[in-house]
Structure 1
Amino acid sequence: MTGRWMMAIAGMVLAAFLVAPDRFAPLFQPLTRNGAPAIYQQTSILSLTLSHLGIVTVAVLASTVAGLVLAILVTRRSGREFLPLARTVTAVGQTLPPVAVLALAVPVMGFGTGPTLVALFLYGMLPVFENALAGLTGQSPQVAEAARGMGLTPVQRLWQIDLPLALPLLLAGMRLTAVISLGTATIGSTVAARTLGEVIIAGLLSANTAFVVQGGLVVGILAVLIHHGFQALERRARLRTGLD
């Protein structure tokens, strides 16, 4: 209960800051020097936050779809031989630094949101794939026997049994991907994507610690809220499937 209250308070404080950041200027003023502004005003922090969340949402959904489809394919009898290849493909995003992906994508896609989406998509696919794979392959033999006894086809078993039972682990993978992507998306501002990295970079360039702290705090609070939100969904999914 205490954790819920803390999350609620954090959410309300974040919302208040995004709607009226100037009211928080006295808190950030000690972090400035030589009369520099305490609140980033070149672009609306609220609009940057919404843009940041939009980019992360698209990337997480794309990573989830790709990772889940791959996990389903390699757990079917006809696709099991492709499991090593699928693991290699999904691991590529984790081995290539997002900055390197941006550098490779910009000459092809130009500056803006596109390269950032590619970097986040590749970087976020591995957690979803591995968790979906664990959820689809970690079911007890009794489940398979029950499905055969009910006369379910492979497709029916996938939709009615396998995916619902794998949902808690899939949500855990999405949680990891979302939190990773939320922090990583800040580098998108280096290629002109509208993210909260713009506030952090502006602070670094102008030696204004207040801007750096603002951008970092917004991203950090969002990450904590999203993390706890997914955990709540995981608990609900586990209760519905009888895993708890």
Structure 2
Amino acid sequence: MRVATALRLALVALLAAFLAAPDWFEPVFAPLTENGAPAIYRQASLLQLTIAHLGTVAVASLAATVVAVGLGIFVSRPAGADFLPLSRAIVNVGQTFPPVAVLALAVPAVGFGTAPTLIALFLYGLLPIFENTLAGLRQVPAAVLDSARGMGLTGRQRLVEVELPLALPVILAGVRYSVVVSIGTATIGSTVAARGLGEVIIAGLTSGNTAFVLQGGLVVGVTAVLIHDGLLAAERRAMAARASKA
């Protein structure tokens, strides 16, 4: 456990150092360049690109979470059960159409920039959160719900005070998967002029500069790992809280 924690802290420190002062790492990437090409991407600040990248993911993931959890709650109630097939069809749109296709369809409607990327990430992130919300709510023991009814809790009180807290670890697992996938998928947003780390990767691919590709890929990968671990820790805390209430 201590070794894993030390490794995470080392990753955080290394990522922070690279984003704050990438020129320090020029000797590491220089062997990957040819014909005097620059070893460090300098057309924009790597720190600012990372912030923009994560900002896009955060907005899309938050919107997807609100919509997917809301739909999951609605169709798990008796009044909304008949809408489950329709809801599944809606949240499956992002999985049916790849993000690149969504970008191609969104650009004529909303133009270039961050907007089409947000739409693609939002649609792509709905399914895992929706399905995990349903799974989490359905696994709440019937005996617990009967006990809550016996205590005189209303339907809304049962949802807020009993069902959602017990389902939270499963819902968070869906959010974690959605966010981590979105961090990688967001790189394609640079093909439609969205600010993000995809800009570094695409610049490397178009110029044949392996150093740029590696820089963008490493920042995306390390960031995804660190955020995955953070969300997993939140998930474990929610599981511990659920166990203490059982």
Which residue of structure 2 aligns with residue 130 of structure 1? Answer: 131
What amino acid maps onto 2:73 in structure 1? Answer: I
What amino acid maps onto 1:129 in structure 2? Answer: F
Which residue of structure 2 aligns with residue 74 of structure 1? Answer: 75
Which residue of structure 2 aligns with residue 194 of structure 1? Answer: 195
Q: Where in structure 2 are the equivalents of 1:23-38 lying within 5 Å? A: 23-38=24-39
Partner Cα separation in structure 1 for residue 86 and residue 165 of structure 2: 26
Q: TM-score, normalised by structure 2?
A: 0.98
Residues 39-58 of structure 1: CA distance to partner in whole angstroms, max 9, x if unpaired? 00000010000000000000
1:179 CA drift (Å): 0.5
Partner Cα separation in structure 1 for residue 106 and residue 156 of structure 2: 37
Question: Is residue 228 from structure 1 mapped to residue 244 from structure 2 by the alignment?
Answer: no
Which residue of structure 2 aligns with residue 106 of structure 1? Answer: 107
1:120 CA drift (Å): 0.1
Q: TM-score, normalised by structure 1?
A: 0.99
Partner Cα separation in structure 2 for residue 83 and residue 3 of structure 1: 41
Q: Which runs of 5+ in 2 are unaligned?
A: none
111-120 vs 134-143, which deviates more? 134-143
Q: Which runs of 5+ in 1 are unaligned?
A: none
Partner Cα separation in structure 1 for residue 151 and residue 5 of structure 2: 42
1:4 CA drift (Å): 1.5
Partner Cα separation in structure 2 for residue 146 and residue 242 of structure 1: 17
1:78 CA drift (Å): 0.6
Q: 3-state DSSP class of the match of 2:92?
A: helix
Which residue of structure 1 aligns with residue 160 of structure 2? Answer: 159
1:144 CA drift (Å): 1.1
47-56 vs 143-152, which deviates more? 143-152
Deviating 4+ runs (over 6 angstroms): none
Q: 3-state DSSP class of the match of 1:11?
A: helix
Which residue of structure 1 aligns with residue 217 of structure 2? Answer: 216
1:95 CA drift (Å): 1.1
Q: 3-state DSSP class of the match of 1:152?
A: coil
1:84 CA drift (Å): 1.1
What amino acid maps onto 2:96 in structure 1? Answer: T
